[in-house]
Amino acid sequence: MTIQQLHYFLTLCQELNYSHAAARLYLSRQALRQSIQALEQELCSPLFANDHNHLSLTQKGQQLRDLAAPVVEQFDQMCQKARRHLVTHPVIRLGISQALVPDYLPSLGDYLDQFRQAYPGIPLETIIEPNDQTVHQLLAGRRDAVLVMDLGRAPSHTLRRPLTVHAFALMVGHNSPYWNRASLCPRELEGAQMLTPGLDEWITRPMQDLFAADGVSITLQLAVSFYQAIYAMQEYGAVGFTRLEQSHITDTDNVREVKLEGMPSLYASFLTREAPPDPCLDLLYHILLDQLNQNL
């Protein structure tokens, strides 16, 4: 569910009439109904009862209303704070890991453009750079926030907020001995060359600890971009890590994902420095999170 869906739901709770609620939201009745139906399907329960065209909240609907109201109110307050900062807010410098584009977050550019259009008073500058370098630049004060790929661990002196989470998988080339496998266990990777978007300990340690626990020795090799990883897999059989979700790009490049059992989840995360909160950075994070939840 998204903030937008909860906003629509709360408006309908107030009006208890689809036509009136749709008019307040500048939506069609059909669009509003589809949004409510999507919520009901997600929660596996009706939220409204209809008795001779008279709407009333079900018990589940009342529970959701009580939970959703403070969430939407908090989001609205955050937006108001961000707007008060628009006049004097400096440019947001956002570092983006090369590991996340174009395959992991293929629509990220569209979401950032939507943010710029919705909030033209918040200047946003994006810089695509290696996964580790984004963090170094953040800690040096040259980035205000960064988007990175990680395994659930944050670098020291940063605040980490996940945007997406997926099962960990290996990305293998068509000439790999693992090509026809649906899944692997760590023991089967003894001596493998493992491509990683970064070599800093905060990203490699969760993976190294699991291999070490099984007595498995692997060689970590840096591949900062998706296309660099594709080349290494096809040229000498290295394996890279990615999310377990086949994509159009990997189909066309003759690579596929193989689940690696027992590994930590793979995340795209939004990192900022440990500092007083910035309402505009908070707004950017929540807009990205909302868009990704709607489209992943």
pLDDT single digits (tens) 194-252? 999 999 999 999 888 888 888 999 999 998 888 888 888 888 888 988 888 754 444 44
**Distances from the Cα of 211 to the Cα of 2, 186, 197, 278, angstroms:** 37, 6, 18, 39
pLDDT of residue 85: 61
174-196 pLDDT, tens digit per residue, is 888 898 898 999 899 999 999 99
What is the average per-residue pLDDT within 260-279?
90
Q: For residue 84, what pLDDT band results from cuts at 50, 70 and 90?
A: low
273 strand-pairing partners: 158
pLDDT of residue 253: 56
Q: For residue 161, what pLDDT band results from cuts at 50, 70 and 90?
A: very high
169-178 b/e (C-beta count within 10 Å ≥ 16 → b):
bbbbbeebeb
Q: Indicate the SS3 state at residue 197.
A: coil
Is the pLDDT score of 51 beyond 80? yes
pLDDT of residue 9: 92
Neighbour count for residue 33 (Cβ, 10 Å): 15
254-267 pLDDT, tens digit per residue, is 788 899 888 899 99
Spatial separation of the C-alpha atoms in residues 44 and 150, rounded to whole Å? 32
164 strand-pairing partners: 268
Average pLDDT, the chain: 88
pLDDT of residue 98: 93
DSSP state of 274: S
Q: Which residues are CB-contacts of 232 (< 8 A; sequence separation ≥ 6)?
A: 193, 195, 221, 223, 238, 240
pLDDT of residue 80: 75
What is the average per-residue pLDDT within 50-54?
84
Please classify residue 42 by burial: count the beta carbons closer than 10 Å to its beta carbon, then call 0-12 exposed, 13-18 middle and 19+ buried: exposed
pLDDT of residue 28: 86
The DSSP element (H or E) to which 29 belongs, if any, is: helix 29-43
Task: Give the pairing of strands 168-173 and 255-260.
Answer: antiparallel
Whose tokens are 């990205």? That residue is 288
pLDDT of residue 94: 97
86-119 pLDDT, tens digit per residue, is 555 678 999 999 999 888 898 999 999 989 888 8
pLDDT of residue 249: 44
